[in-house]
Amino acid sequence: MSRFVGSDHQILLLQGAQELFPAMVAEMDGALSDIQLETYIFNCAGAGATVAEALIRAAARGVRVHLVVDGVGTGRLPQPWADRLAQAGVRVQVYSPLGPLGLLLPRRWRRLHRKLCVVDGRVLFCGGINVLDDFHDPNHGTLPAPRLDFAVRVEGTLVRYASDVMEQLWWRMRALRDVQRRRLSLALADLRAASAAQAGLRRTEQAGPGMRASFMLRDNLRHRGRIERAYRRAIARARHEIIIANAYFVPGRKLRRALVLAARRGVRVQLLLQGRYEYFMQYHAARPVYGVLLAAGVEIYEYAPSFLHAKVAVIDALGEQPWATVGSSNLDPLSLLLAREANVMVRDAQFARELRARLVQAMASGAGMLDAQEYAQRPWRERVLDRVAFGLMRALLWLTGNRY
């Protein structure tokens, strides 16, 4: 763990649930007024239970606890845990429950993928780490090594902004539920609370310029392309080195072009990507874009010890204008076009060097560099599967009205 202190922010880099969960639990156990938690996966097996227990303890002593989970990533909580949370007073909402038709409806593909926790409006945790044990995968069971992922602990101005963002979503979800149940008076009260959160957002946005840390959202309203544009601007300004670690990497045309142009002007571009087979679509759809990147001189490393789940990048960490980001957004169409995401951007040499050191270590000890010639000569069956997955992804995006 490394602490960055800059402007009015203090930012701590955390690797994996093994570092994140104890830090979150400590803050929850000291909470005085409220805890806001949003996560794609809320799994109480193993170390995940420590977070659930901390929420229960906080609610039992009168702290307001709001928990939002995604309808696909989590779905319905196991009944024993659901009962315990409810009995303690933890208020739980499920973002976009699937309903009888499930994912057959394209509008259900818009998911809550961000991982955020705010305690007392004072401390923010943001990153790619779900409430999920590092050594457990819901689909693959016990993992041979901890999942590679990162988060940050933040104090400072942007915490209030993040809290207002979460508060607004909470009340909008409540309003929608009350409308569906024809409780219109309650829905109006919920919308007034959401409007108050919106007013708070405007106030903290005005305090944003000039900060060396910023909070970046991706949603389907005001912030549709904000995270991707931040990546492209940082890549365009790179002069020495770009390191990106991303679990599900299927960049669109503009992002691919930015990486190719950076490599061609002499910037060393290194990508740390998923080397283990996790999901058919994400694994195979990523590979058709490798060719043009390898041809431009981009180095691609595939991480193998466990699942790579990181969504981080660091640019020019050793230069004059370092830039880094830690968050929930993959560089693929699900994250960049459909999901709610959140990243923290940091412009600080100490923080960038620490993140860079973690990624360089991961590439050196747990990743193999992809050889361009071997990639070109991979078996025909793999090439067919890659093209099928890539084509299917584009077709599914077309159904949502998006081009990528």
With CA atoms as reference, report the closest residue to 64 among 132, 118, 116, 113. 118
What's the pLDDT score for residue 183?
Answer: 79
Whole-number pLDDT of residue 15:
98
Residue-level pLDDT at 209: 40
Q: Please provide the CATH number assigned to the domain covering 238-399.
A: 3.30.870.10
Top-level class of domain 2-155: alpha beta
pTM, 2 dp = 0.93
Residue 98 confidence (pLDDT):
87
Burial class (CB in 10 A: 0-12, 13-18, 19+), 10: middle
77 alpha-carbon distance from chain centroid = 21
- Structure confidence at residue 202 (pLDDT): 56
Distance (Å, whole) CA 99 – CA 101: 6
Half-sphere exposure of residue 395: CA atoms within 13 angstroms, side-chain side: 7
Q: Is 115 a catalytic residue?
A: yes
| 113: annotated active-site residue | yes
Q: Residues in the chain with pLDDT < 50?
A: 1-6, 205-211
pLDDT of amino acid 203: 53
Catalytic residue among 9, 66, 113, 284: 113
Residue 311 is among the residues annotated as catalytic for this protein: yes
Question: Which one is catalytic: 190, 316, 332, 386?
Answer: 316
State residue 2's pLDDT score: 41
**Catalytic residue of the set 29, 34, 120, 219:** 120
The catalytic residue among 134, 309, 332, 348 is 309
Examine the residue annotation and report whether 316 is marked as an active-site residue of this protein: yes
The one catalytic residue among 133, 284, 311, 386: 311
Sketch the domain layout of the chain as residue ranges: 2-155, 238-399
